[in-house]
Chain A
Amino acid sequence: MTLLRRRWLEIVTIGLLGASLVRSMTVEADVTQGDVQRIMYVHVPSAWLAFLAFLVTMIGSVAWLRTQEQKWDRVAASSAEIGVVFTGLAIAAGMIWAKPVWGQFWTWEPRLVTTALLFFIYLGYLALRRAVIDPVQRARRSAIMGIVAAVQIPIVYYSVNWWRSLHQGSSARSIDTPLRITLLFGVIAFTFAYSVLLRRRLELARLEEELDAKRFEQSQAVAGADITAPLLTSHPHD
C-alpha cells in the first residue's frame, strides 16, 4: 500500500504509456499514409514534451532572476535536460517517419529546422551549466542565457517559416477523429511521463547540490585538525 502511495504517479504514467501504446497499435490505419502514420503517436508527444520542458526552463530562469531561489535554478536545469533528450528523440523518430513518406530523412521545413536548432541551443545551455562551477554564478548566467534563447526562438521559427513560405506552401492536413483521440492520449501519457521525469531529475539536482555543499565543507577542514583532534573512526588518508 505504501508503494502505491509513494509511487502512484509512476504507476499511473506506466499505465497510461502502456495503454497509449496499445491504442496506437490497434487504432485504424490512416487513409493516405497507412500504418507508417502510427509513428505520429510517439513523435508528436515527444516534441510536445520537449517544448513543454523548454517552456518550464524559461519559467524557471525568469523565476530565479526574480527570487534568486536556488530551487528555480534546479527546475530550469532539470527541465532543460529532459527537453534536450526528447528533442533528440523526436527528431530521430521524425526522420524515420519522413523517409517513407517524404522519400528522404530531412526536409527544410520550418518546424524541423527550428527543432534542430532548439536541440543545439539547449545543448549549449547545458554545456554552459557544466562549465560554471559556482552555483549562484551558474544559476545567474544560465538564467540569462535561458531567457535570451527563449526570446530568440520565435524569431528563429518565423524567419524559417517566412523563408520557406516564399518558396512553397505547406499542406497541413486534418486527421480523423479516432486518430486524433489516439494522438491526444499519447500527449497526455507523455505529459505524465514528463512530470515523473522532472520530479526525479529535481531530486537528483537537490542531492547533487547537497553533495557539493558537503564536499566543500569537508575541503574547508582546518589545517592540523588531524593532529589536534584526530578522528578515531577513520584514518584521514584512507
Chain B
Amino acid sequence: MTFWRQVYEVARKDLLVESRTAEVALMTAPFGAAALILIPLAIGTDAPLLSQLGPGLYWIVVLLFGMLVILRKSAVDGQAQRDLVRLLGIEPAAAFTGATIATSVLVLFFEVALGPVLIALYNPELRGWLWLFAILPLVAAGMGLLGTIASGVTTSIGTRTSLTPLLIVPLSMPLLMGATQALEGLRLGRGIVPWLLLLVAVDLALAVSGVLAARPLEEAVT
C-alpha cells in the first residue's frame, strides 16, 4: 500500500467508527448549540451586542467544545486495534496523518453545524463570508493536528479526558487569534491575509512536529 492509501484507510476507519456512534453529530454538536443558546442568557440579549460578540463566542465554543470531538470514542484505539495496525505495517506517519484528517473532518463538521445556530441566534455581520471556506478548514486542521498529537501522548492514561484539554487549550491560542481576527478584519473591511498566513503557519508547524513525533510515539505505545 502506498503512503496515501494507508492514510486514506486509517481516516476511513476512524470516520466509519464515528458514523456508527454518531458521537459528534448527535451529541457534541447539539451540546455546542445548546451552549450558544445559553450564553446570551448570561451576558444579555441585546441584539447589537450579540451581533458584535457572536463570532468570538462562536470560536470559543468551537475551541472548547471541540475538545469533545478530539476526545471522542472513535479517536481512541485500544491495545488490540493498535497492535493490528502495527501488524498491518501501517507507517506511523500515515497513521498520524489519517487520524488527523478524520479528526479535522469532524471538527469541520462541528464548525459547519454550529454556523446556522450562530447566524440564527446572533445575527452576525456576514461580510466576506466566502473567506470562511478558507478559515474554517484551517482552524479544523489545526485542532485536528493538536488533538492527534495530544491524544498520542495521553494514550491509555486514566485521566486523559482531563489532561488532553489542558495540553491543547493553551497551545491552540494562535488558532483562536487567527480565526477571530480574520473575522474581525472582514467585518471592518481590513485585510485578513496575515491572519490566514498565521493559521497556515500554525498548521504547518504542527504538521511537521506531528509527523516527526509519530514514530517515537508509536514506540512509546508498546
Contact = CB atoms under 8 A, between A and B. Distances in A.
Direct touch of chains A and B (CB < 8 A): yes
21 contacts: A120-B166, A121-B167, A128-B154, A131-B157, A131-B160, A144-B149, A144-B216, A145-B167, A148-B171, A148-B206, A148-B213, A149-B171, A151-B205, A151-B209, A152-B171, A152-B205, A152-B206, A155-B198, A159-B198, A162-B194, A163-B177
Contacts of A148: 149, 171, 206, 209-210, 213
Mostly, the B contact residues are: helix
A127 B157 CA distance: 11
A156 interface: yes
A65 B216 contact: yes
Nearest to B172: A152
Given A123-B166, A151-B205, A145 B178 contact: no
B201 interface: yes
B220 A124 contact: no
Interface of B: 149-150, 152-154, 157-160, 163, 166-167, 169-171, 173-174, 177-178, 181, 194, 198, 201-202, 205-206, 209-210, 213, 216-217, 219-220
Among B158, B194, B205, B220, max chain A CB count under 10 A is at B220
B166 A127 contact: yes
Given A140-B217, A147-B209, A159 B173 contact: yes
A144 B149 CA distance: 9
Given A141-B153, A144-B149, 20 more contacts: A121-B170, A123-B166, A124-B163, A124-B170, A127-B166, A131-B157, A140-B216, A144-B152, A147-B209, A148-B171, A148-B209, A151-B205, A152-B174, A152-B202, A155-B202, A155-B205, A156-B170, A159-B177, A159-B198, A162-B198
A137 B220 contact: yes
Interface in A138-182: 140-145, 147-149, 151-152, 155-156, 159-160, 162-163
B177 to A, nearest CB: 4
Among B167, B198, B205, max chain A CB count under 10 A is at B167
Nearest to A134: B220
A50 to B, nearest CB: 15
B205 A144 contact: no
A168 B216 CA distance: 44
Given A141-B153, A155-B174, A159-B177, A120 B209 contact: no
A207 B210 CA distance: 33
Given A120-B169, A151-B205, A159-B198, A144 B213 contact: yes
B181 A163 contact: yes
Contacts of B213: 144, 147-148
Interface in A65-107: 65
Contacts of B159: 127, 131
A132 interface: yes
Contacts of B201: 155
B217 A144 contact: yes
A36 interface: no
Nearest to B220: A140
Contacts of A29: none
A155 B209 CA distance: 14
A57 to B, nearest CB: 15
